[in-house]
Structure 1
């Protein structure tokens, strides 16, 4: 397990009293969480607990119903006006979203584009990066995830683990302040899980700031500096990885870990 500990000072990400409902189903019930630069936080919890919804609210793929999210000192999704808080339009939210890199369960690669083009299209068209520099960046990132020899391949010729590593490279290409992973190994065959979690552990060891919704307790133990456990839309435990996994304070955490480890 990494020996990195929580940084002091101003958090990079600050979530306060976050609420989200779908009809009568209250999915997030006043969640508050801070994340400092260089931390890797593993978000654990049973299916339907609200952990993925929390992640999607951070980059405004879902609009929260209440509370606030601040990233790098900037309030996300809304701004102060003379009449109080007002929601931002999609254009401004899209600009803010560039501060985060999201890796999903499904790989979401364009099948008719090469691996390299999948990685560098956004830096060229969103960041305005010169094509030559974008290519250099893309090849460097593919090397970082162990796929430098597959730059000219198409996604259909890659394994699931390789495609997910391309997705990680694509997220890194936007040079985000915060990386978000939503169950990045759940769609993979067991044989491919290790190659993806190995890349993620490398990123954690290099000091990337990451929120990882995962069912892989092994990854949390190996790479996360903190573990947060979510149940019924609330955080029931938040602490150093070793403490949460070895001596959980919440009976909900204890039950979840027992069920997960003996599945």
Structure 2
């Protein structure tokens, strides 16, 4: 049982290298329960890589990630720390829900099946109960009427809302969003960020990698700025956005036309 007074997520000196490129150079970050942390930074700064290390989609080269008091990716063996098996890592990963830049929905499954299949297969949820859960979550994201549709019949914004419902279906302790609006037409951005803001208002714990400065202002409790694989600024959203202390943060906000936040970013990995 984790201590509720401690941060839900603790990242300590996180490091990751691809070839000769140091993408993460020692990131440390705490996220408490109920916080929405918006992560800003230029392309290639390490934001997406950090998220993938949090749920062990990428194996860090150094440092540690602790979720709810449990070290991610490693356990205690008879002779000291040991790397977890793939099935053990999958169990840990189920404690987080991740929404990617691209929707990654199964095109041959209906919207409802895309949402409920993981709870059935991973959590062992009875399919009838899973369908009830799926319909409740589709109602939450405003898509209950499209339950029997297929992904190709939906707009990009609708597909991303299905992705959010799918992440919620695993009842995660932590939600990770990796530029969730970057693949959307501008007209569809608002329908996704409004769902995310509602989740934030309801107390979900979220890390959102984003260029949507308007969302960060409206929904984030904190803003973290990452540059060159390091956290260079971390503070309350209004303070960071209105009076950034680091010149890198000031330049970033100016370059993204502060208040609009429509720039997009490719993945960090070369």
Pairwise TM-score range, normalised by the shorter structure? over 0.9
Aligned CA RMSD, in angstroms, stands at 1.0
Equivalence for 1:116: 112
Equivalence for 2:267: none
Q: Does 1:133 align with 2:133?
A: no
Give deviations 1:174-199, integer Å, cap 9, x for gaps.
00000000000000000000000000
Give deviations 1:197-240, integer Å, cap 9, x for gaps.
00000000000000000011111001000000000000000000
CA displacement at 1:39 relative to structure 2 = 0.2
Runs of 4+ in 1 over 3 A off after TM superposition: none
Q: Distance in 2 between matches of 1:33 and 1:249?
A: 18
CA displacement at 1:241 relative to structure 2 = 0.1
Q: Does 1:214 align with 2:210?
A: yes
* Count of matched residue positions in the alignment of Structure 1 and Structure 2: 256
Compare 55-64 and 84-93 and name the one that shifted more: 84-93
Please list, as runs of the form range in 1=range in 2, the aligned pairs for 1:99-178 lying within 5 A after superposition. Answer: 99-178=95-174
Q: 2:85 aligns with which of 89, 93, 102?
A: 89
Point out where structure 2 has 5 or more consecutive residues left out of the alignment.
264-270
Q: Distance in 2 between matches of 1:122 and 1:62?
A: 21
Equivalence for 1:187: 183
Q: Distance in 2 between matches of 1:83 and 1:57?
A: 25
Q: Does 1:10 align with 2:10?
A: no
Q: 1:245 aligns with which of 218, 232, 241?
A: 241
Q: Distance in 2 between matches of 1:137 and 1:186?
A: 28
Give deviations 1:17-39, integer Å, cap 9, x for gaps.
10000011000011100000000
CA displacement at 1:92 relative to structure 2 = 0.5
Alignment partner of 2:27: what SS? Answer: strand
Provide the TM-score with structure 2 as the length reference. 0.93
Q: Distance in 2 between matches of 1:142 and 1:53?
A: 29
Q: Distance in 2 between matches of 1:89 and 1:130?
A: 27
Q: Does 1:52 align with 2:65?
A: no
CA displacement at 1:90 relative to structure 2 = 1.0
